[in-house]
Amino acid sequence: MTEQKALSEALALALLHIRALHGTLAATLIDVAALRQIVLNSPKESKRYRKVLTYEAAKVRPLVATAMQAYDEEILHIKTISQWRN
């Protein structure tokens, strides 16, 4: 029964991650739409936007790496508890 509880907790955590990714995807789509308007309407602003975007991406890179590591650990955990044992 302990394995069943651990699996349920792991799946719940995975669902929380998926929900967070859904929110991030929505924000990204909004940002892309705004970027499209900037590029179409003002080439000078698009250069500035690119600089800011590069700077912000560099700030977020460690957070993304940490999130990816957490996903890898959770996937390994799920695989470990769901293996058949005799």
Residue 35 lies in a domain: yes
Per the structure, the complete domain to which residue 47 belongs is given by 2-81
Output the pLDDT for position 85: 55
Q: How many residues are recorded in the chain?
A: 86
Q: To which H or E segment does residue 79 belong? A: helix 43-81
The Cα–Cα gap between 51 and 45 comes to 10
Residue 86 lies in a domain: no
Residue 7 lies in a domain: yes
Q: What average pLDDT is seen over the chain?
A: 79
pLDDT digits (tens, 9 = 90+) for 23-59: 888 888 888 887 777 777 887 777 887 788 788 878 8
Q: How many domains does the chain have?
A: 1
pTM of the predicted model, to two decimals? 0.49
Output the pLDDT for position 1: 58
Residue 67 lies in a domain: yes
Residue 32 lies in a domain: yes
